[in-house]
Chain A
Amino acid sequence: MTAPLLAPLLNVEAIGISFGGLKAVQSFTLKIPRGGLHGLIGPNGAGKTTVFNLLTGVYVPQTGSIELDGTKLIGKKTYQIAAAGLSRTFQNIRLFPDLSVIDNVRLGMHLRGRHTLRDTLLRTFTFARQEQAIEDRAMELLRLFDLEARSEEYARNLPYGDQRRLEIIRALATEPKLILLDEPAAGMNPAEKNDLAKSIEQIREKFGLTVLLIEHDMGLVMDICERITVLDYGQTIAEGTPDEIQSNPKVIEAYLGEEVK
């Protein structure tokens, strides 16, 4: 079932979770239109990554509802949510270090294929066709991000920036509708950050994807995001366009502290 075009692709209604007495995230609401690029910012410990974990099914929200393109996500397991069209990258890179670059991308396509034991063991025509298709598509994606020359290298041997990009490629290989990027610019130098901004633009143009971005680098967030949500102590303190956020007193207070009178 596909929701009407005007409805938001991701519709998060008042989700919350607490760990014991700690209210990690409270009534968090988020609507991202199809093709949108939304930023999620906040000081350290504000609950940004917890929101990602709630969306991807690592934690189950205690209240509220999550809908992706008309599909309810609450109660689904992480791998089912990935199949529903939500893919992510990780704050601390989580590639498959001892697999080659191309195998990392191939693995991303796993959930779109059919893998029966019969086909695998007998090496049927179906199997050969699918493996060839997986390889072709993986090379195509690598080519798009200029990584094809390194396709046979171990993922762990890639330079840092390339590892970040490979994580994005792997997420793209799952054919997502929405991609969550968890601090993709962390640890990057300015040149790499520029490349990253370009890659994100490319993702949106070529794949028509919707992006939710957690990022500490304000320059990047303010440059590329259309709308931004600010979290502090698990609460949404502001939501709006980059200009609105920059001049919002509550946001300034959360980041810099109260004004001295």
Chain B
Amino acid sequence: MSLLAAETSRQRIDRPAAIARSLLPLAGIVIGALLIHGAGASLGQYPSRVMLDCGVAIIAAVSLTIVNGFTGQFSIGHAAFIAIGGYTAGFCTYYFALSRGIDPGGVNASLLGGPQWVMAAACILAGIVAAGIGWIVGLPSLRLRGDYLAIVTLGFGEIVRVLIQQTAPQIDSAAEFRQTGWIAALLPPAVGGSLGLRDTPKTTNLFWLFIAVGICLLFAFRLKYSSLGRALISIREDEIAAEAMGVNVTKLKVRAFVFAAFFAGVAGALCAHIPGVPMNPADAGFQRSFDIVMMVVLGGLGSISGATVAAILITLITAFTLALAEYDLLQYRMPVFAILLILMMIFRPRGIFGLNEIWDWLPGFRRKRNLLENQRGFDVEEKA
């Protein structure tokens, strides 16, 4: 038996406190999601739409942080997993509604209605499909380093985009779908080709989205502050040293990639059910991937709260330029991002928060960092 195992068996822990630390954040997530849902309802349609976009961006950015920030592998094809998740979930819910003889486009958002649960199941399925594809893509490509991995992931994104463009047209009527059935709809996938996947049930609302955001944040934080997360970060810090210290580098890189793909899939699934935006092949493209990479880099590679803040910031800037469409400001969106990134390179070259989290800047926090306070740190993030 190793010395560590012996020491572990000697440890005594405060069980009620440990249970509380384990479960309280979940209650926090539900309450937080309810509050945000309420806030969205009182603010009106456009602000709540922007909040939905923020939520999707947060999940995308935080999940990419696990790959680009923790393990330091530079993946720039993250949007492909979002599209895969979105199309998977959209396909399931659209044809599920058709098979029940319901008009899919007419299904609206409610808090805890049946369609929401169908969407939740589709989200999990979408995450699993995206994770599976992430595993298949990651296994060979994560043996590459640096630029080469970036090229492979970029190529993967483009492949997914082109494949989606080549899919069959959607089946429109319930009667027709009854005739053809699921298998015919799946081979080739009838998800609309370059027209995009239209008329999916509009079941995403702020409550469900922010439940997913909360779970994603909790996942990322608990991963970061654990031995597993430290092992991921050690790969970023020095791959050779990590391997020499007994870290199975290849296995952990693939794992990180799979986690990230899972949450990207969930983000895509939620995105596919937001009112007013059909999924389309461009969602898998380079532009979307680059937006997410920008959020991660702007926030600080490895900082979860940084990615969150940057995701909100970039979504707000986009929304702002869109809202002022009558002044024709949309064309200035890209220069604004460029200036933002240049300013960041000059003043904060490691991102807004660098490698740290928000609370690492609070006085007295960095000094006594242990598990308990990491947990408290999470609550700070929840309130923020």
* With contact pairs A123-B222, A128-B13 given, residues A99 and B246 touching in the complex (Cβ less than 8 Å): no
Answer yes or no: B336 CB below 8 A from chain A CBs. Answer: no
| Interface size range of chain B in the complex | 35 or more
Q: Are A79 and B355 in contact (CB under 8 A)?
A: no
Q: Are B228 and A120 in contact (CB under 8 A)?
A: yes
Within 8 A of A (CB), among B121-158: none
Q: Are A78 and B13 in contact (CB under 8 A)?
A: no
CB distance from A206 to the nearest CB of B (A): 12
Within 8 A of A (CB), among B282-310: none
Q: Are B227 and A133 in contact (CB under 8 A)?
A: no
Q: Are A110 and B230 in contact (CB under 8 A)?
A: yes
Q: Are B4 and A90 in contact (CB under 8 A)?
A: no
Instruction: List residues of chain A with CB within 8 A of the CB of B366.
Output: 152
List the 4 shortest-distance A-B pairs measured between CB atoms, nearest first. A111-B246, A96-B237, A82-B246, A94-B241
Within 8 A of B (CB), among A23-73: 56, 58
- Who on chain A is nearest to B17 by CB? A128
Q: Are A112 and B4 in contact (CB under 8 A)?
A: yes
- Who on chain B is nearest to A108 by CB? B245
Indicate which residue in B13, B222, B245 contacts A107 across the interface (CB closer than 8 Å).
B245
For A79, A82, A125, the residue with the greatest tally of chain B CB atoms inside 10 Å of its CB is: A79
Answer yes or no: B367 CB below 8 A from chain A CBs. Answer: yes
Q: Which residues of B come within 8 Å of A, CB atoms? A: 2-5, 7-11, 13, 15, 18, 21-22, 218-219, 222-223, 226-231, 233-234, 237-238, 240-249, 355, 366-371
CB distance from B289 to the nearest CB of A (A): 26
Q: Are A99 and B233 in contact (CB under 8 A)?
A: yes
Q: Are A96 and B241 in contact (CB under 8 A)?
A: yes
CA distance A117 to B223 in the complex (A): 8
The stretch among A6-14, A134-142, A214-222 that forms the contact with chain B is A134-142
Q: Are B227 and A79 in contact (CB under 8 A)?
A: no
Q: Are A174 and B245 in contact (CB under 8 A)?
A: yes
Answer yes or no: A225 CB below 8 A from chain B CBs. Answer: no
Indicate which residue in B3, B9, B238 contacts A96 across the interface (CB closer than 8 Å).
B238
Indicate which residue in B18, B227, B244, B245 contacts A115 across the interface (CB closer than 8 Å).
B227
Answer yes or no: A122 CB below 8 A from chain B CBs. Answer: yes
CA distance A97 to B219 in the complex (A): 25
Within 8 A of B (CB), among A109-127: 109-113, 115, 117, 120-125, 127
Tell me how many residue pairs across A and B have CB atoms closer than 8 Å.
144
Q: Which residues of A come within 8 Å of B, CB atoms? A: 56, 58, 77-79, 82-83, 87-88, 90, 94-100, 103, 106-113, 115, 117, 120-125, 127-137, 152, 170-171, 174-175
Q: State the main secondary structure of chain A at its contact with B.
A: helix
Q: Are A130 and B367 in contact (CB under 8 A)?
A: no
Q: Are B238 and A125 in contact (CB under 8 A)?
A: no
Instruction: List residues of chain B with CB within 8 A of the CB of A129.
Output: 8-9, 11, 13
Q: Are B4 and A113 in contact (CB under 8 A)?
A: yes
CB distance from B355 to the nearest CB of A (A): 5
Q: Are A123 and B355 in contact (CB under 8 A)?
A: no
Q: Are A127 and B226 in contact (CB under 8 A)?
A: yes
Q: Are B228 and A117 in contact (CB under 8 A)?
A: yes
CA distance A109 to B229 in the complex (A): 13
Q: Are B241 and A95 in contact (CB under 8 A)?
A: yes
Instruction: List residues of chain B with CB within 8 A of the CB of A109.
Output: 4, 227
Q: Are B10 and A133 in contact (CB under 8 A)?
A: yes
- Who on chain B is nearest to A88 by CB? B244
What are some 14 contacts across the A-B interface (CB < 8 A)? A79-B244, A79-B248, A87-B244, A98-B355, A99-B234, A109-B4, A109-B227, A110-B230, A110-B247, A113-B8, A120-B222, A133-B11, A134-B227, A171-B245
Instruction: List residues of chain B with CB within 8 A of the CB of A87.
Output: 244-245
Q: Are B244 and A82 in contact (CB under 8 A)?
A: yes
Q: Are B21 and A123 in contact (CB under 8 A)?
A: yes
Instruction: List residues of chain A with CB within 8 A of the CB of B18.
Output: 123, 125, 128
CA distance A175 to B7 in the complex (A): 13
CB distance from B1 to the nearest CB of A (A): 10
Instruction: List residues of chain A with CB within 8 A of the CB of B5.
Output: 112-113
Instruction: List residues of chain A with CB within 8 A of the CB of B237.
Output: 95-99
- Who on chain B is nearest to A102 by CB? B369
Q: Are A115 and B228 in contact (CB under 8 A)?
A: yes
CB distance from B274 to the nearest CB of A (A): 27
CA distance A95 to B240 in the complex (A): 10
Instruction: List residues of chain A with CB within 8 A of the CB of B248.
Output: 77, 79
Instruction: List residues of chain B with CB within 8 A of the CB of A79.
Output: 243-249
CB distance from B250 to the nearest CB of A (A): 9
Indicate which residue in A77, A98, A110 contacts B245 across the interface (CB closer than 8 Å).
A110
Instruction: List residues of chain A with CB within 8 A of the CB of B247.
Output: 79, 107, 110-111
Instruction: List residues of chain B with CB within 8 A of the CB of A107.
Output: 230-231, 234, 242, 245, 247
